Amino acid sequence: MKLDSKIPDGPLAEKWYKHKFNLKLVNPANKRKYDIIVVGTGLAGASAAASLAELGYNVKAFCFQDSPRRAHSIAAQGGINAAKNYQNDGDSVFRLFYDTIKGGDFRAREANVYRLAEVSVNIIDQCVAQGVPFAREYGGLLSNRSFGGSQVSRTFYAAGQTGQQLLLGAYSALSRQIASGKVQMFTRTEMLDVVVIDGKARGIVTRNLVTGKIESHSAHAVLLCTGGYSNVFFLSTNAMGSNVTAAWRAHKKGAFFGNPCFTQIHPTCIPVSGEHQSKLTLMSESLRNDGRVWVPKDPSDKRRPQDIPEHDRDYFLERKYPSFGNLVPRDIASRSAKEVCDQGRGVGASGLAVYLDFADAIKRDGKKKIEERYGNLFDMYQQITGENPYETPMRIYPAVHYTMGGLWVDYNLMTTVPGLYALGEANFSDHGANRLGASALMQGLADGYFVIPYTIGDYLAGMAPTKIGTDHPEFKKAEEDVKAQINKLLNINGKKTVDQFHKEMGKIMWDYCGMARNAEGLKFAKKRIQEIREEFWNNIKVTGTNEELNITLEKALRVADFLELGELMIDDAAHREESCGGHFREEYQTPEGEAERNDEKFAYVAAWEYKGANQAEVLHKEELVFENVKLTKRSYK
């Protein structure tokens, strides 16, 4: 099978405009004859479900949480980028496009990224119309701040709770459509399989998380808006429930997985406090606007941070990257923190932390101003660590935060399975090998509000609105497969818990497929993941039955999929013999320790095809063509 990205012809700035005209339309009276399934209700899912229902389609939306309002987009803190140029500081659609392509270390598609930058301005208009209370200036106009990887101020925000406010906006639009009857909402429901009939995605199989009931839902198209898979590392900033199951099961039904090894390690998280740690907490990147990152120059310097004089401190980001300073992109900031910790200069009890210091900003702007900007973040830090960041510098360390990889999609957001789409973090498309801050919210909403409503019509217009009943043999077979897997898990009755397996796998992934990777380590990790998976299926202990609210069973089903995904991530990381963005292969670095790309050999998207249990996946390459930007060495010096 040849990958066709369906990128429209013509100049970059006209592609989307022309494409929209060329897409087929479903006439208003016919839209009500089509059913669309949306899995996940985060920014991408909620915005897609609401927008499609507004157009007249019948939508069934699913989430595993008790309410669509709790999807993990809610936890995004810092902001959302848009090329409004309200600050008159030289921003433009092209600059946002360029920053994003460069930030992604030239491993994303030009056309997709340009479209993203183009619709970014509409997103802000849309959200304001919904009543999203963005931060404002005294004149009543919208306020902006700067973010990593950019030299303009284009980030819109609502204190440190931007994701919450945007998601509640999308949730309100979704609620309106639920009330109108155009969206049927299924909460506490987990998707466990995609049903493909005659080569097209025609529905899903779900488990009701309260009653355990396995059910089928039929539709004309299925949208996966199910987020990322950072929890493969066990410890990450993702919510406890975030999982890869929907995307992975789709992968096993024929959807290629794009760039699975591209994971983002966020530089500013609260360090691990002990064995009991269940997840990591992010401190917004916006803190790097005013906080200065440093460690003591001397590894043996154990003084309290406030007692260490200026000349004994190493502000390593400012020293290494004078033009971007503390605002270098995330991958670079994370790696630099790892580097100083590896040199033994890390701080705190574990030595795995660096300082993020606000003393200068407080001196310059006053405590009140800093409190206004970051109050809730400072409170959160104090609640978790018991330390007051107004008085003593924060301690931060990198943590897994976002996955740029995901299901491969074409320009229309369709996966390699016709009728199956992937939106938001669940797809691989716009961030290349590294995502810039405040771009995840932008992409989720771009896909849901402004891309899928256009592109899905082109697909549906080409198919008859005939419905397929859930008594079709393919639905029955998928249900039986799901039930068989559940029964298997319930009957192993082994000696180890799901969390034990999950932690074991997570540590292997973090140590060998995390911030720095090498061929030997990856080889070892692959073997270990296979062993852990083998043991999982022989020694897992899942109590209770299927026909009840069973939290252990829920977790076991998710971890089973992580154990398969983990191996693919390792394969992907091993095959990509270059360093780019968040993917740092120790063998490929410049003498100064910067990532060394290999554009000759690796300027492509790696799209992996599933070939069956315990069989090697097949690599397909989508060559990336750069017509509008010059591939340069990404420098933030």
Partner 1 sequence: MKITLKVWRQKNAQDKGKLVTYQLNDVSPDMSFLEMFDVLNEELLLKGEDPIAFDHDCREGICGACSMFINGKPHGPLQTTTCQLHMRSFKDGDTIVVEPWRAKPFPVLKDLIVDRSAFDRIMQAGGYISVNTGVTVDANEIPIPKSIADEAFSAATCIGCGACVAACKNASAMLFVSAKVSQLALLPQGQAERKRRVQKMVAQMDAEGFGACTNTGACEAECPKHISITNIARLNREYLTAKVASEEMIEDEIAA
Residue closer to partner 1 (CB basis): 281 or 412 = 281
Sign of CA dihedral 79, 82, 83, 85: negative
Decide: residue 589, CB within 10 A, 0-12 exposed, 13-18 middle, 19+ buried: middle
Residue closer to partner 1 (CB basis): 179 or 464 = 179
Residue with tokens 């390792």: 570
Task: Given the residues 330, 335, 395, 435, select the one marked as catalytic.
Answer: 330
Q: Residues 599, 602, 606, CA angle at the centre, nearest 5°?
A: 150
Residue closer to partner 1 (CB basis): 135 or 629 = 135
Q: Smallest distance from the beta carbon of 21 to partner 1, in angstroms?
A: 16
Residue closer to partner 1 (CB basis): 209 or 261 = 209
Residue 126 gets the label, from left (phi > 0), alpha (psi -120 to 50) or beta, of alpha
Annotated active-site residue 330? The verdict is: yes
Identify whether the C-beta of residue 310 lies closer than 8 Å to the C-beta of residue 359: no
Residue closer to partner 1 (CB basis): 292 or 373 = 373
Pick from 17, 19, 95, 112: which is nearest to 446 by CA? 112
Q: Smallest distance from the beta carbon of 375 to partner 1, in angstroms?
A: 11
Q: What is the bridge-based pairing of β-strands 604-609 and 618-623?
A: antiparallel
Phi and psi at residue 216, in whole multiples of 5°?
A: -110, 145
Compute the distance between CA of residue 306 and CA of residue 548 in angstroms, rounded to an integer. 54
Residue closer to partner 1 (CB basis): 208 or 412 = 208
Compute the distance between CA of residue 70 and CA of residue 227 in angstroms, rounded to an integer. 13
Phi and psi at residue 588, in whole multiples of 5°?
A: -120, 85
Q: Smallest distance from the beta carbon of 55 to partner 1, in angstroms?
A: 8
b/e per residue, 592-605, with b = 16+ CB within 10 A?
eebbbbeeeebbbb
Lay out the sheet containing 394-403: strands in order across: 263-269, 394-403, 354-357, 292-296, 313-314
Q: Smallest distance from the beta carbon of 149 to partner 1, in angstroms?
A: 23
Q: Smallest distance from the beta carbon of 236 to partner 1, in angstroms?
A: 11
Residue closer to partner 1 (CB basis): 236 or 434 = 236
Compute the distance between CA of residue 594 and CA of residue 573 in angstroms, rounded to an integer. 18
Residue closer to partner 1 (CB basis): 368 or 633 = 368
Q: Which residues pair with 589 in a beta bridge?
A: 595
Phi and psi at residue 295, in whole multiples of 5°?
A: -140, 165
Q: Which residues pair with 193 in a beta bridge?
A: 205
Q: Smallest distance from the beta carbon of 286 to partner 1, in angstroms?
A: 15
Identify whether the C-beta of residue 30 lies closer than 8 Å to the C-beta of residue 130: no
Q: Smallest distance from the beta carbon of 503 to partner 1, in angstroms?
A: 10
Q: Smallest distance from the beta carbon of 422 to partner 1, in angstroms?
A: 20
Catalytic residues: 330
